[in-house]
Chain A
Amino acid sequence: MIAVELLKLSRRARTWFSVALMCALPLVVAIFIAVTHLAPPPGQGSAFLSAVLDDGQLYPAAALALVLPVFLPVAVAVVAGDSIAGEASAGTLRYLLARPVGRTRLLVAKLVAVITFTLIAVIAVTVTSYATGVLILGPSRAAAVGAPPGGLSGSITPGGGGAPTAGLQPGAAITSLSGTPLTTLHLAERVLGAMSFITVSMLGVAAIAIFLSTLTDSALGAALGALATLVGSEILVTLNAASTVQPYLPTRYWLAWIDFFRQPIFWRNIERGFGIQAVYVLVFLGAAWANFATRDITT
């Protein structure tokens, strides 16, 4: 059943079109930045975007920040919203369950397909944006104010005369948000961590959309319902008056993946982000299962 759903997912042009669109956005942004050499000023614009002119290897992080607010959740909501409601509106759900296939198995297969789509999208964006960053924006170069030629990295002796005197790390590939050097291995670990976090964050969206998909025969309605939930959450996250409910909103910790790029890694919000998504997934998938398992299927 899972194999069938994955095959269906892979054969849909929509799947690859949406992945291509998500990969295209960072590419277009990179081309504009590379041509104009105009990145957003530090502290403004999308996360990491101000630093990519100095270091193209950072572009996967910037690309994830670009697609996370809109493109990725929209794509996940559309795929997840279509999972049950799409079959119902096409009139195939009744026949699918008559094979016979257990409803729980079908729901699990649909969920696996949505998870696979999310993973493919996140990996595709990361890989293509790394290539984009290195090929179009170029590798790391020491361009900051006062940087010595060659961009030495190392620690400063606090009581010393101010020159980098110890801890030189020739293997350092990139600079963390905290200014400390990270090796390529460190960077890879952190990008993997960020990808995992973003994927799990999207599972919360998927769970809401799948639940709505079991309530209606309209795939569009289910997707829009999930997106309306996210937009409402985003509005409340910025509202001081809603501070008491903010820790429980689905989008509250979405940006916590940035904390992987601090040194030391700031785990607090990452842990909370994983935790709140786990709650949303459990609650909405449980509700989806309860509804789907007991629903009269007429279409």
Chain B
Amino acid sequence: MLASALPASVPGLTAAQLEGRVLGSQRLAFSGYAESEAAFGLPPLPAFSSVTPLLDGVTRMRVWQAAPDRWRVDTLSDAGEDDTYQAGANTFAWDSGQQLLTAIFGPQAIRLPRAADLMPAALAVRIISEAGPDAKTRLLPPRRVAGQSAAGLEITPAAPQSTIARADIWASPTSGLPLLVEVFDRGATQPALETRFLQAGPWTPDPGVLTPQRGPGTGFTTTTPNDFAGVLKNLDDELLPGSLAGFARQPSPAPRIGVYGSGLSAFAVLTFTRETGCHLLRTALDAGAAPLAYPDGTGAVASAPLVNLVLVHPRRSPDTFLLIGLVSRAALEQAAAVLAAQPDQDLGH
């Protein structure tokens, strides 16, 4: 507490140098404790029940990283914890509530967001990488974060369609380890998402910490990345347009997920089959999403800082499309109108 009150001083660095150090910090071995705070207010869709708590309220996390593909992140609560171990291509997930350790063998091409994505180190690197070379950067005044002086970097995405107005990153000027990340919605003065280390430092890797272990009475199960993808494994193989609302479709690691746009102005289109999709739409409307009416379909829209979400169910199709991403609500509604008018066209047919 006292250390955080001391004045911050950092050596002279250019924005490009600091950006380079942040990107280079991925290789660091470190440990720490971080908290993220967000107030997105998205409707609590059961299919995404593991994601919504991350986007509303405070998430408490402990991290130990030996290498980019060898780390552990614990999400703490007063009742237990959910831990993720990354061991090369394999992932292990511990759920203290269920007393269950799940091994996911193989790389996860698609997955839902998880707490580890909110760690300052992971989020800062992702923002810098996704912002691309056209993003504007400038230095911010230094701050003390986690008891150490941190150099500040402001990143403004070049894409005007992005919901992200800017992201402020404070990182250790020597190691480049990001310590604090604030992400701002357009027109907002307060960050919609803030994640910061409260304790961070170099760490000598300890296999005992990074190796998942099983206590007595616990369950153990193995699964494939596809089975662990939750709601993402139940997608329909709908033939999606090459572009939507002016956003071109990009190659996706999962062919059933359409990714439109790029970097920090992108959205995904997920196609749900009859029962799952209708249930999602009903739940979203019950949870306070605004109804949408198209000549060729019905839907719902939920706006949150940074993220917008539209569900649309075409009259001529049994499918329901979920559009979610970092683009404006108007752009998503425009894209949804195109999908509402689209006849059912599965790739396999």
Contacts and interface: CB of A to CB of B under 8 A. Distances in A.
B170 interface: no
Interface string A27-68: 000000000000001111101001100110000000000000
A179 B215 CA distance: 6
B73 to A, nearest CB: 12
A144 B100 CA distance: 7
Contacts of A151: 216-218
B215 A181 contact: yes
A145 B96 contact: no
A158 B212 contact: yes
B211 interface: yes
Interface residues of B, number: 42
Interface string B67-81: 000000010111111
Interface of B, helix, strand, loop or mixed by DSSP: strand
A167 interface: yes
Interface string B193-224: 00000110000000001111111111111100
Nearest to A266: B62
B260 to A, nearest CB: 35
Nearest to B78: A255
Interface of A, helix, strand, loop or mixed by DSSP: loop
B228 interface: no
Contacts of A146: 100, 219-221
B78 A162 contact: no
Interface stretch (A78-86, A99-107, A168-176): A168-176
Contact of B103 (A152, A162, A180): A162
B105 interface: yes
Interface stretch (B84-92, B132-140, B282-290, B339-347): B84-92
B307 to A, nearest CB: 20
Contact of A152 (B94, B199, B214, B221): B214
Interface string A118-147: 000000000000000000000011111111
Interface string B1-44: 10000000000000000000000000000000100000000000
17 contacts: A41-B97, A42-B79, A43-B79, A54-B99, A55-B216, A145-B99, A152-B216, A155-B212, A156-B214, A158-B210, A158-B211, A162-B220, A167-B213, A179-B83, A179-B94, A180-B213, A180-B214
Q: Give the top 7 A-B pairs by smallest Cβ distance, nearest first.
A: A42-B97, A175-B215, A158-B87, A144-B219, A146-B219, A181-B215, A144-B99
Interface of B: 1, 33, 62, 74, 76-81, 83, 85, 87-88, 90, 92, 94-101, 103, 105, 198-199, 209-222
Interface of A: 41-45, 47, 50-51, 54-55, 140-148, 151-156, 158-159, 162, 164, 167, 172-182, 247, 255, 258, 262, 264, 266, 268
